[in-house]
Structures are given as C-alpha cells and as structure tokens.
Amino acid sequence: MSTADSATGPLGAELHYRALEQLYASAPINRKFASRLHIPGEGLSRLVFDITEADYHAAGAAHGTIYFKMLDDAAFYAANTLVTDRFLLTTGFNLHFTKPVRAGQVVAEGRWVSGKRRVFVAEARLVDEEGEEIGRGTGTFMRSRIALSGLAGYSSALG
C-alpha cells in the first residue's frame, strides 16, 4: 500500500488518519508535552501545543527543542498520511526561528510537499496566539521497516 486514498479508499483514509492521531497520543515522549494532533486530510496535519514556563530556556522563552519537536511532528505526520503500511523516519530537518514565544498556545501546521515512494518531503510552520509565524521547517522522511500495524498505538485505533 502506498497512499491512504488509493490503497484504502476514503473511509480507509479516515481510519488511517485517526490511527495516526492515536499513535501520536500513545508515544511516551508526548506525555511530556501538552499537545494534540489532528489530521484533516491527506498530506496535512495540525498540532496544538500549550507552551508553559517549563519549556523556557534561561532567557525566558521557549527553548529551540520545543520548536523542533513541533515542526518535526507536524511535517512527519503530514507525510505519514500518504503511507498506510510503514512508519516513516526523519532523515533530515532544517528549521528557521523567526520569533521567540512565551507561554500560550502554538499551532504547528504540517504539509506534504513531494515524494510518494521511499523519500517524502514535508514542511511545517508554527503560529502563535496572535497569528504570527514564529518558526518554519522542512524535513525529509523515509520509509522504515517498521510496520504501522505492529505499533500498539496505531493498531488499537483500528479496532
């Protein structure tokens, strides 16, 4: 199977998206972050993060690791909407910080750009509560040998 729509039809694509959302929620790392993933359609993702002082560096704004986490996750899940059989792996990521962010809600919007076989390119941007862009990034992702169906967080959503 290569893409959600061609491999499983529209209803199967919706199940795939909900299973990816559940996979995100089940990852142990995400217990450390107040965040929620929504996949509105093929090649798209939306993550909502709540930034608190616990995420700050010494100068009182969110640390760059938070930017990377949000951007990588949004781009990754946008790309993985096109792959129904395998977990993707990040192979490279470029990010640009455009504005510091303090406490509040940040939205990471992911969008698939290219690739449908082995290597995928996706981008993401971060928007603060005022609607201003605070960062953006582009990642490359490749198919792994890890079957999505073998991951408890993914398969539990499929029933």
Q: What is the CATH number of the domain that holds 18?
A: 3.10.129.10
What per-residue confidence (pLDDT) applies to 10? 61
Predicted confidence (pLDDT) per residue in 23-81, tens digit: 999 999 999 999 999 999 999 999 999 999 999 999 999 999 999 999 999 999 999 99
Cα angle for residues 100, 92, 129 (degrees, 5° grid):
25
Domain of 37?
4-158
Question: Which strand (E) or helix (H) includes residue 10?
Answer: helix 4-26
Query: For the chain, how many structural domains are there in total?
Result: 1
pLDDT band per the 50, 70, 90 thresholds, residue 155: confident
Q: Is the pLDDT score of 3 beyond 90?
A: no
C-alpha count within 13 angstroms, C-beta hemisphere, residue 77: 29
Residue 31 tokens, joined:
């217990």
Predicted confidence (pLDDT) per residue in 118-153, tens digit: 999 999 999 999 999 999 999 999 999 999 999 999
Q: Is the pLDDT score of 4 beyond 70?
A: no
Helix (H), strand (E), coil (C) string for 107-141: EEEEEEEECCCCEEEEEEEEECCCCCEEEEEEEEE
Q: pLDDT higher for 117 or 137?
A: 137
pTM (2 d.p.): 0.91
